[in-house]
Amino acid sequence: MLRIHFGHADLARTRFISGPDPLWEIAMSLQRFQTRRGRWAYAHWYRTARHRLQDKGLGRTLRTVLLPMFPKGVYFPDFLTPAESGGGLDAGLEAILATPPRQVLSEVAILDRTVGAPSWAPRLAEQTARREFAGILKAYYEAVIAPYQDEVQARVEAERTARGRDLLDGGTEGMLSRLGSTMRWSSPVLHLDYPAEDRDLYLDGRGLTLAPSYFSWNTPISLASPDLPPVVCYPVCYELPASAAGPEFADLSGTASLTGLLGRARAAALVAAAFGATTGEIARAAGVSASSASRHATVLRDAGLVTSSRNGANVLHCLTPAGAAVLRAATRAARGGGGRRIPS
């Protein structure tokens, strides 16, 4: 159990990453190779990833380099998931290269005491070895994560949208109470079902960064060092109440070209999904029955324009990057580049 203690300032400074964190996704995807738990959810990715790695000559590298540094267990080095990777893979890799050698050696020693580090791991304190390791991380990302970038982006954006609705309805504490069954909010403490040792983390005014992850499964994870900027990487999840309120109609002004292309009801469904909408909300926005709204959402999903996530009786529909691009193009063409911003 990890207990994260909030003060009033921490609630105001709690935020979400702006999109998928590439180094956290690398770390979490490597966990998927080491357990059968949840493999059904990643079955297609797992099969294609193994083939892609073999085709790229990375099969042995996966076994001898990557998996030993990201073991499925209670610890992997903090310097492998720096905060800078929120700015993209290259920024994250540069932060890894800039890690002080003393920190690298210290965290490799913790890895060795915890689960056993590979014999070559202490050499990562040297810039040359670390640069080679960063190149391996980039090659792995390009082989098995970049091909799924749109899906990863869509799922993380859907999670951000769902939690943003919770924030609007219940403030930060309301949002923290809806992070899934493995995280429980009991003011002023967030309790996490944590795979590592039982411990407490005091934010002390630093706030918390929440990093929803496509490849994370079941349990959240945090940095081991209490001195680093606090972050929690957790599985994407969707928990919308049946009575969730949403838009009563979709504003189709300025989207005549989109209406001509898709039809009024389907265009309304796409507009409603721009900021997240349940099937019932799409039905109200488009002025159609729930069954018709479901069919429209299915067509948009099959076309790669929306992503749909179910939790119990509720389904949340959000734009994929392709859907956002279509909607932005339609509104930009009609309004000369102005108008309401569509989230990307």
Q: Which ranges of the chain would DSSP assign to H, the alpha helix?
A: 8-12, 22-32, 43-55, 59-61, 67-69, 89-97, 101-114, 127-144, 149-176, 256-262, 264-273, 279-286, 290-302, 321-335
User: For residue 197, is pLDDT > 90?
Assistant: no
Bigger pLDDT: 107 vs 288: 107
Residue 249's pLDDT band (boundaries 50, 70, 90)?
very low
Please say if the pLDDT value at position 48 is more than 70.
yes
Residue among 192, 179, 187, 182 nearest 7 (CA): 187
The answer on pLDDT for 108 being more than 50 is yes
Q: Is 117 helix (H, G, I), strand (E, B) or coil?
A: coil
Cα–Cα distance for residue pair 302/300, rounded to 1 Å:
5
Torsion angle defined by CA atoms of residues 157, 160, 166 and 167, in that order, rounded to the nearest 10 degrees = -140
> What pLDDT digit, counting tens, does each position of 57-80 carry?
999 999 999 999 999 877 899 999
Rg, Å, the chain Cα set: 22
Give per-residue burial for 92-106: e unless 16+ CB within 10 Å, then b: bbebbeebeeeebeb
User: What pLDDT, on the 0 to 100 scale, is given for residue 159?
Assistant: 82
**In this predicted structure, which of 27-36, 232-241, 321-330 has the lowest mean pLDDT?**
232-241
Give the pLDDT score at 43.
79
pLDDT at position 337 over 60: no
Q: What percent of the chain has pLDDT over 70?
A: 88
The pLDDT value given to residue 311: 54
**pLDDT at 134 > cutoff 60:** yes
The whole-angstrom separation of Cα 77 and Cα 174 is 32
Quick: pLDDT tens for 160-182: 887 887 888 889 999 998 887 78
What pLDDT, on the 0 to 100 scale, is given for residue 246? 39
Q: Is the pLDDT of residue 109 over 80?
A: yes
Burial class (CB in 10 A: 0-12, 13-18, 19+), 168: exposed
Query: Mean of the pLDDT values across residues 188-200?
Result: 86
330 — pLDDT class (breaks 50, 70, 90): confident
Other CB atoms within a 10 A radius of the CB of residue 63 amount to 12
Confidence at residue 341, expressed as pLDDT on a 0 to 100 scale: 34
Q: What is the pLDDT of residue 332?
A: 60
Phi, psi of 103 (to 5 degrees): -65, -40
**Pairing of the two strands 209-213 and 199-202:** unpaired
Residues 6+ apart with CB under 8 A from 138: 89, 93
How many Å is the maximal CA-CA distance in the chain?
Answer: 64
The residue count for the chain? 344
Predicted confidence at residue 92, as pLDDT, reads 96
DSSP 8-state class, residue 18? S
- At 305, phi and psi to the nearest 5? -95, -25
- Measured distance CA(325)–CA(234) in Å, rounded: 27
Residue 216 above 80 pLDDT?
yes
What's the mean pLDDT in 317-323?
78
Q: Comparing 154 with 30, which gets the higher pLDDT?
A: 30
The pLDDT score that the predictor gives to residue 245 is 35
Residue spans of the domains in the chain: they are 2-16+151-235, 22-148, 256-335
Position 241 pLDDT exceeds 50: no
Class of domain 256-335: mainly alpha
If you average pLDDT over every residue of the chain, what do you get? 85
At residue 270, does pLDDT exceed 70? yes
User: How far does the chain reach from its first CA to its final CA, in angstroms?
Assistant: 35
8 Å CB contact between 174 and 187 = no
- pLDDT band at residue 343 using 50, 70 and 90 as cut-offs: very low
